[in-house]
Amino acid sequence: MLHTGRRCCASGRLQAAEAQTLLAKCYMTGEGVEADTVQAALWCQRAAKAGNEEAIELLPIILKCDFCGSTPARQLCNRCLMARYCGAGCQAGHWNTATEPHKGPCKDHRRPAAEASEQQ
Q: How far apart are CA 54 and CA 81, in angstroms?
A: 25
- Asked if residue 89 lies in contact with residue 96, where contact means CB atoms within 8 angstroms, the answer is no
- Asked if residue 90 lies in contact with residue 68, where contact means CB atoms within 8 angstroms, the answer is yes
Q: What is the DSSP letter of 77?
A: P
What is the per-residue pLDDT across 65-103, written as a single tens digit (0 to 9) for each? 988 988 788 788 888 878 889 888 988 888 887 777 888
What local confidence, expressed as pLDDT, does residue 14 receive? Answer: 55
CA-CA distances (angstroms) from residue 9 to 2, 16, 49, 112?
Answer: 11, 10, 16, 40
What is the per-residue pLDDT across 21-60, written as a single tens digit (0 to 9) for each? 999 998 888 888 887 888 888 899 999 999 999 999 999 8
In b/e form, how buried is each residue of 74-83, taking b as 16+ CB within 10 angstroms?
eebbebbbbb
Specify which residues 75 forms β-bridges with.
85
